Structure 1
Amino acid sequence: MTDSAFDNLSIAVTLPCYNEGQSIAAVVIGFRKALPGARIYVYDNNSSDNTSEQAAMAGATVVPSRRQGKGNVVRQMFADIDADIYIMADGDGTYDPTAAPRMIQVLLEDNADMVVGTRRHIKQDAGRSGHAFGNRVFNAAYKALFGNEFTDIFSGYRAFTRRFAKSFPASSTGFEIETEMSVHASVLRLPVSEVEFDYGRRMEGSHSKLSTFRDGFRILRMMGMLMKETRPFLFFSYIAVFILAASIFLMAPVVRDYFETGLVDRIPTWMLAMTLLLGSMMTFIAGVILDSVARGRAEQKRIHYLSMAPSRGERYHAGTTPLIERRQPAGHHTVSDTSKTKAR
């Protein structure tokens, strides 16, 4: 599929930026060459350098985003822009614009709602191996908690359909937004795909805005919160088991002494152990109840998602019959077909 196959698609390239004046012009020009018909938006998140000026000179539409944090910017982008397909990337030049057409092609051919650009050579990100190690740890944790649909949950290079963008209830404020996107797709079991590409280095003088420990903690907290909201039975079961283990630890010597002497000498310890046991039972029951609530919320999200008209480009595939027409029963005529028959 060539770029001309996208001519009838409304494509928006969205670039959240904070102090990327050294690289943003090259990024905008790169996406304009890769997707000539796309609209390119740069959302300037309170930059103190010349990010806005450089982006405007390169031909992008610059939109100010006053709430600090990437999650806030993404939430505003999805609310502001109406398109068939959204491409999201960073303005630091580490994501290859020439991979965008392939991501759109996979999005259309796989009938996916999100395509994630997985990164090769991530260790070369300004030489910070800590990011690569954290990436592996969190990806393994994600697979254990939410499923194995993704191999790079932190990639900021993604393609979305309008249905995904408009049904995504973004609540994150910072770099944890990509994790929330992945969990949203996993919980609703949306069709997703991945495309691997080379991960570039930042330009000299450009610095990563990601803090290994601070943002790592925020991402870990977000994963815990999303687990509590989407998989409460598993979340509260873990807590219940931990409390139960503490209760048994305190209870064991008291029970041992009772069988040896027939007396309970440590009443406070026994009372604490019983309190923890009751707490464990209550926590487990809370998980059971909240699991039903979470299932109801997931059904509501799914219904809202289905209420959005599909826009994966079915009617734009060159040389094929539109998907809706292929599903019509034999002998069915559209209004236009009937009017043509009468005209004859």
Structure 2
Amino acid sequence: MASSSPVLELQQSLGARFGGGWRADPPAEAPGRGHRPRVAVLLPCRNEEASIAAVVADFRRALPDAVIVVYDNASTDRTAAVAAAAGAAVFREVRPGRGHVVRRMFSDVDADIYLMADGDGTYDAASASQLVALVAENGFDMAVGARAGIAQDAHRPGHAVGNWIFNRLYRRLFDNGFGNIFSGYRAFSRRFVKSFPALSSGFEIETEMSVHARQLRLAVTELSLPYGKRRDGSASKLRTVRDGVRIFAILLYLLKETRPLLFFGMAALVTALVAVVFALPLFDTFITSGTIPRLPTAILCAGLGITAALLAVCGTMLDSVARGRAEQKRMLFLAVQQNRQG
């Protein structure tokens, strides 16, 4: 007896969740073939009317057995209509922001393997099967398509510099081997998607994914893939200063949440050094004259010393809390069924 098609299974899942409003004919499957993983291609889009049809067609050719799901993120053009006409399943997230739409996609779509890309045509759809294979055949929970030639082909110089700075900062703070934490071209296992909290609201969501994988010590890999220019008529939503500030803020927040001993330890060290700098002249005066003429400075130094000690204690205590939270996250991650059959 022939097994059911993975595309049909995923379509039925989407139809049940969203009222059966989307229909497509699944490809026939050879009799006697075992269960194949269901692959969902997730395309978050905002005002990508000019490029989305070609992107859907490209991923359809690259992964003919996959279901293409487009999430319209508060577009003001005909992105949704064009995507639907191209044969994609189209749904909407009314709150603008990449983090919001990723959280919605991960919550709503049920598959075995997820491939996330953009609707602007910058990611190479022909390489999609390589990312999917890393998850399906090599057992990785996340495979990142690192963007090769990003500075030359697709970005303003300010963005390229920002990418370089933040990637180096990430590696310093979190000790992870990612070469590009901002790539939106990623393949995920089901258990990664269904256990990822997705707390960010904007473009910093990829940074959160990378930190999440590092905290749980997940099997991740990176593959250098072509990264091209946007298609004609597609405009970037990135804002150099605003997004840079938000990414820096999320890095600090995630450092505090996942490595509190380092976060508070650095703050304690800086505070203690400031106290020492102010205290050295006082000690010199006291040694030579036996008096402390600047009493307010002495009080300040004592306060800074106490603050440094409190910061160190807080970091030590919160480090134990963070470890317990990581253990709970790991247990929840392992509790997710990796492949859903039938």
TM-score, length of structure 1 as denominator length: 0.87
**Number of aligned residues:** 310
| 2:190 maps to 1:162 | yes
Partner residue in 1 for 2:6 = none
1:74-111 CA distances to partner (integer Å, 9 max, x unpaired)? 00000000000000001110001111111111222321
What is the aligned counterpart of 1:236 among 261, 264, 267? 264
Residue in 2 that maps onto 1:278: 306
Aligned AA for 1:286?
Answer: C
Q: Is the 8 A contact 2:51 2:233 kept in 1?
A: no
Pick from 113, 129, 138 the counterpart of residue 110 of structure 1.
138
Give CA-to-partner distance per residue, 1:45-75, whole Å, 9 cap, x none: 1101111111111111110101111001000
1:192 aligns with 2:209: no
What does the per-residue CA deviation read over 1:209-241, in whole Å, with 9 as the maximum and x for residues that have no partner?
Answer: 111111011001001000000000000000001
Distance, in Å, in 1 between the alignment partners of 2:46 and 2:253 is: 26
Tell me, yes or no, if structure 1 residue 46 matches structure 2 residue 88: no
Measured after TM superposition, the shift of residue 127 of structure 1 is 4.6
In structure 2, the residue matched to 1:246 is: 274
Q: Which stretch shifts more, 223-232 or 7-16?
A: 7-16
What residue identity is the alignment partner of 2:171? K
Letter in 2 for 1:24: I
Pick one of 58, 68, 72 that aligns with 2:96.
68
Q: Is the CA contact (8 Å cut-off) linking 1:107 and 1:193 kept in structure 2?
A: no
Conservation of the 8 A alpha-carbon contact between 2:37 and 2:136: no
- Give 2:239's aligned amino acid: S
The equivalent of 2:323 in structure 1 is: 295
Match of 1:259 in 2: 287
Q: Distance in 2 between matches of 1:89 and 1:104?
A: 12
Deviations 1:1-36 (A, max 9, x none): xxx999822111001111111111110111111111
The equivalent position to 1:124 in structure 2, one of 141, 152, 156, is 152
Segments of 4+ in structure 1 off by > 4 A? 4-7
- Of the three residues 119, 122, 131, the one matched with 1:94 is 122
Q: 8 Å contact 1:124–1:201 — kept in the other structure?
A: no
Deviations 1:159-190 (A, max 9, x none): 00110000001100000000000001011000
Label 1:180 to 1:55 Cα distance change in 2 as closer, same or farther (>3 A). Answer: same
| Aligned-pair Cα RMSD in Å | 1.6
Which residue of structure 2 aligns with residue 204 of structure 1?
Answer: 232
Give the Cα separation in 1 of the matches to 2:155 and 2:302: 53
Distance 1:143 1:297, change over 3 A: same
Shift of 1:124: 3.2
| Deviation string, structure 1 residues 228-280 (Cα, Å, up to 9, x no partner) | 00000000000001111111111111111111111000000100110000000
- Structure 1 residues 2-21: aligned runs within 5 Å: 8-21=36-49
Q: Partner residue of 1:269?
A: 297
Partner of 1:81: 109
Distance change >3 Å, CA 289–CA 53, structure 1 → 2? same
* Contact 2:279–2:298 (Cα < 8 Å) also in 1: yes
What is the deviation of 1:126? 4.2
1:59 counterpart (79, 87, 96)? 87
What corresponds to 1:34 in structure 2?
62
Which residue of structure 2 aligns with residue 340 of structure 1? none
Distance in 2, Cα, partners of 1:159 & 1:202: 21
Other-structure match for 1:215: 243
Which AA in structure 2 matches 1:154?
F
Q: Secondary structure in 2 aligned to 1:204? A: coil
Percent identity of equivalent pairs:
52
Contact 1:123/1:132 (CA < 8 Å) preserved in 2?
Answer: yes
Q: By how many angstroms is 1:149 displaced?
A: 2.6
Give the Cα–Cα distance (whole angstroms) in 2 for the partners of residues 238 and 95 of structure 1: 38
Alpha-carbon separation, structure 2, partners of 1:248 and 1:127 = 45
Mapped to 1, the partners of 2:49 and 2:66 lie a distance apart of 22
In structure 2, what is the Cα distance between the partners aligned to 1:9 and 1:181?
Answer: 23
SS at the partner of 2:240?
coil
* Greater displacement, 222-231 / 301-310: 301-310
Q: Is the 8 A contact 2:154 2:228 kept in 1?
A: no
Counterpart residue identity of residue 108, structure 1? A
CA distance in 2, matches of 1:297, 1:204: 46
Q: Within 2, Cα distance between the matches of 1:197 and 1:243?
A: 44
